[in-house]
Amino acid sequence: MSRVEVKGVARTKAYFKGIQRRAMNFSAQLRWARDEIKKANRQNFATQGMTSGKAWNALDLEYQSW
């Protein structure tokens, strides 16, 4: 009967445990998305909507007086 010796099992288990932990944590991706939304909002307000494709309409008098 043949025998196979496997080395590095503990290291491999720790590696896969790290993969599993990182797969459950989306903070880096959410941080990136938050930053992209903030940047888009900043650009949109700086150009009064032109970044979105069309400038915002002027406020009507009733809303403006509020």
Share of the chain above pLDDT 90, in %: 59
Q: 9 in a domain, yes or no?
A: no
pLDDT (average), residues 17-42: 93
Say how far apart CA 16 and CA 21 lie, in whole Å. Answer: 9
At position 17, the amino acid (one-letter code) is K
Domain with 54, as residue range(s), is 28-66
Overall domain count for the chain: 1
- Residue 17 inside a domain? The answer is no
CA 15/CA 10 separation, integer angstroms: 9
Alpha carbon distance 59, 66 (integer Å): 11
Question: pTM here?
Answer: 0.54
**Residue-wise pLDDT tens digits, 38-49:** 999 999 999 999
- Inside any domain, residue 37: yes
Residues 6+ apart with CB under 8 A from 56: 48, 49
Average pLDDT over residues 24-41: 93
11 alpha-carbon distance from chain centroid: 30
